[in-house]
Copies of this chain bind each other. A is one copy, B any other.
Amino acid sequence: MKLGIYGYGNVGKGVEYACAQNKDVELVGIFTRRDKNEVKSQLGNKVYSVSELKDFKDKIDILIICGGSATELPTMTVDLAKDFNVIDTFDTHANIPTHFKNVDKSAKDSGHIAMISCGWDPGMFSLNRLYANALLPTGVDYTFWGKGISQGHSDAIRRIKGVIDAKQYTVPVKEVVDRILKGETPELSTRQKHLRECYVVVEEGADKEKIAEEIKNMPNYFADYDTTVNFISKEELIEKHSGMPHAGFVIRTGTTGKEGEHKHTISYNLKLDSNPEFTAMATVAFARALYKEKLNGTVGCLTVFDIRPRDLIDMSYEELLKHML
């Protein structure tokens, strides 16, 4: 299976490491929108300019697109699906149906296969929501994110006047998660589910009190949450908050029996040292399945919901029956 990487940011680097861990994968090259001479592969792979991509139409089985969901992927995946079999990590949940429709049309018109929204949420969390709902049709769903860095919230703080840099952690309220894991099914407000912890570096002489208030009252991002703001030095931010950890829970509690007298709780939990690298591992596993679908002649856009689990892993069916089932 020959893969290409389009975009060499955190996820792109993660895909490069993932290719090295998966023995059935050959990484054809990394394609960058920057000056290719200024981009150095972490593992000595070839770096090309995206303008060279047209020469690789028949040399890449699946192109993994590592772009931003907000502004890049909505057009990038649609365009690249005209010439390649593609997979992306589009994660703006509300816009998934539209993105799916656009990518599906592009892929079908050109006879390619595509997958959108691969990763952990959307991705593995979505699969767990589906499995749990399929098995327990009568029940209540919960998703908790964190503790982990939210890129969007960190960016929102950085746009405030006087702020040099910032990191925002989304933190699930532990007591609430524990209650739900024990089978309780409370109705929860946004504020009851997650806290927001901010680490902020400001310019000398900045009005910290004013900045803290501006953060805490920011609509959509912080106003509906209990938010703590910590002002720290640039050095401390780099030393203690440079990682990209994330975590989360998908929980469903449902009932069965003659009169719903039996309760069941299904929970799926991730604890990730590196959000982008885990996302990258998922894209490579699903690229493997997509490649098999391509060999079957499938065209159009798929999601994680379409993939037979057996196609994700580099292991024979006999081995799966023996060691995994």
Contact = CB atoms under 8 A, between A and B. Distances in A.
Interface string A284-325: 010010000000000000011111111011110110111011
Contacts of A185: none
B305 A258 contact: no
B138 A313 contact: no
Contact of A305 (B136, B285, B304, B324): B324
Chain A interface residue number, banded: 35 or more
A40 interface: no
Nearest to A91: B325
A74 interface: no
A256 B135 contact: no
A34 to B, nearest CB: 20
B313 A133 contact: yes
Interface string A95-106: 011001000000
Contacts of A124: 131, 135, 266
Number of copies: 2
A150 interface: no
Given A136-B281, A306-B310, A126 B18 contact: no
Q: Which of A128, A264, A322 has the most CB of B within 10 A?
A: A264
A93 interface: yes
A240 interface: no
B14 A282 contact: no
B305 A93 contact: no
A258 B14 CA distance: 8
Interface in A252-270: 256-258, 261-270
A278 B257 contact: no
A59 to B, nearest CB: 25
A225 interface: no
Contacts of A274: 256-257, 262, 264
A269 B270 contact: no
Contact of A137 (B21, B277, B321): B21
Nearest to A90: B325
Contacts of A100: 321
Interface of A: 14, 17-18, 21-22, 42-43, 93, 96-97, 100, 117, 122, 124, 126-131, 133-138, 181, 183, 256-258, 261-274, 277-278, 280-282, 285, 288, 303-310, 312-315, 317-318, 320-322, 324-325
